[in-house]
Amino acid sequence: MDSADIDRQWWKEAVVYQIYPRSFNDTDGDGVGDIPGIIEKLDYLDELGVDVIWLNPVYESPNADNGYDIADYQSIMDEFGTMSDWEDLLDGLHDRDIKLIMDLVVNHTSDEHEWFVKSREGDEEFRDYYIWRNGRTDVDGWTGHLGPDDEAPPNDWGSFFGGPAWEYDEDVGEWYLHLFDVKQPDLNWENEEVREEVFSMMEWWLEKGIDGFRMDVINLISKPPSVTEHNPPEPDGFDATFDGPKIHEYVGEMGERVLSDDLLTVGEVVGDVSMDDARQYVGRDGDGLGMLFHFDHMLLDRGGDVWEYYGYDLTDLKDVFRHWQKSLEGEGWNSNYLNNHDQPRMVSRFGDDVEYRVESAKLLGTLLHTLHGTPYIYQGEELGMTNYPFERLDDYQDVDTLNPVQNALDEGVIENFDDVKDSVAALSRDNARTPMQWTDEEHAGFTDGEPWLAVNPNHEEINADTAREDDDSVFHYYRNLIALRDDDDVSDVLVYGSYDDLWPSHTDLWAYTRTLDDERLLVVLNFTSEDQQFRLPREDEDHATYADELPLHAGEVADLDTELLVSNYDEDVESDPTEFALRPWEARVYHLS
């Protein structure tokens, strides 16, 4: 890539830290994290060096889905504090030159939102804010166990959280659509007044001073005609909900009406998103989003149910990242993440969380911070926090775990929980939601009360206090990775350099280059608990096992200045990047100029 082609934006050069407030820090002893708790830890975030906080929902909510069922977009949930607390948080962040983006959840609301209450009551102004439809009466053999005996739901879609995607309301005499929990009715984006309400609400938050939005399941807001029309054609399959027929019209309208290049905007897109759609969402002449959260790498090791866990192959993981890195190059921007509030802990999923926890946590961090795109850190990732040792179904809180498993047990799909407990424990979202581990004291210093979700017992070893005192900890390694984006010698190639995979078929090593003009980074990662050998190919050898077009060969290095920029092992690290042995989970980054 040529530096003349750089389209600079502050959010491309930033590092984002995600806070799940319910589990971050509790100051009032009720066992639930709160906004004053975040304020209490602002110096910690400043010390880490992050540029942006992504705050999961703190809006008024009955908590059917831990805040993703919003009852009032413009008020703060009592558990979390007050609007004055939130304003103090924003000021405290901005005083430290840290920006704030809010979670935008506009595919659905809570069924306790005023709009839905009035819609359910028959208020004509709000009737079409949601998707109400008559059931089907021509379905043979329907038992009517979820509605009247003589009709079935409008179609046979299932919800993401288990069970049907339609709920029959006896008072209304119709069914409403909920792609998620029954208490999360989907908004009807066909209704222009709904869009006006959403855009007005977004502008209200921007006027309060926030710096962007993370957009929850944004590619689901456009539904197919078989759902949106009152006299619909034949039902569509559930896949028709992904990137629906008017999705770019709606997101593009949002981009034109509300968004700007100065905002950090990242849209969560579920399902099998085509690259044409991806480029339209984030392209220079597209819908106006800055980047996307896709799930291609998050689905490699699992099936459709939370108990279907298969593990992953490194080559498949590399393929996904290469596809997105190269396909958006020059046309859009990537977000880079390996865990968040909806995913298990990355060191347990992609690393070795027992013998090489520290080394593999550092390696995974190296990957995320040296790819092309904006890196996202999920709270506790910088400590190397691990999955929780769940044993019983009663240990879980998450509806996305409890509902599907309980339904499968009730229907005989699985005979007993013990048959699937290990897989469920590996994949459940609750792994990410266990409280932040601040100290080695009771409840990890998270709360003086009883935590809403159990604290991982390994907090006596893995905690922020211990990590900050240890210069070789994951925490300090992350500080160094983050600081590289402000290092004048390497920041441009690190942020804007093109990505090229050196050895895509290697099952154990991930090696790639980042290139901008005459500057290069060589990144080599050993994704195993065994020693591995690496060497750059020679120009004149048969390099069929390497990439088709070599981005770098050994002969070129002789004419370059080389510097070992990053290593997660402190001792006996060679400065020669052409050939070397890698220890278990070793990561190296060389600067070649």
* DSSP output for 433-446: HSPP---SSGGGGS
374 close to 130: Cβ distance less than 8 angstroms: no
d(CA 523, CA 528): 16
3-state SS of 148-193 is: CCCCECCCCCECCCCCECEEEECCCCEEEECCCCCCCCEECCCCHH
CA neighbours closer than 13 Å in the CB half-sphere of residue 179:
25
280 close to 286: Cβ distance less than 8 angstroms: yes
**Residues counted in the chain:** 593
- Type of residue found at 76: I
d(CA 272, CA 461): 40
End-to-end CA distance of the chain: 15
d(CA 115, CA 125): 9
> Please, which residues have CB within 8 angstroms of residue 501's CB and are 6 or more apart in sequence?
318, 322, 511, 512, 547, 551
Active site residues: 216, 268
Tokens of 285: 């002449």
Helix, coil or strand: residue 345 = coil
CA distances from 247 to 224, 236, 242, 286, 429 (A): 10, 16, 9, 12, 28
Of the candidates 64, 65, 62, the one whose C-alpha atom is nearest the C-alpha of residue 78 is: 62
Tokens of 224: 């197919």
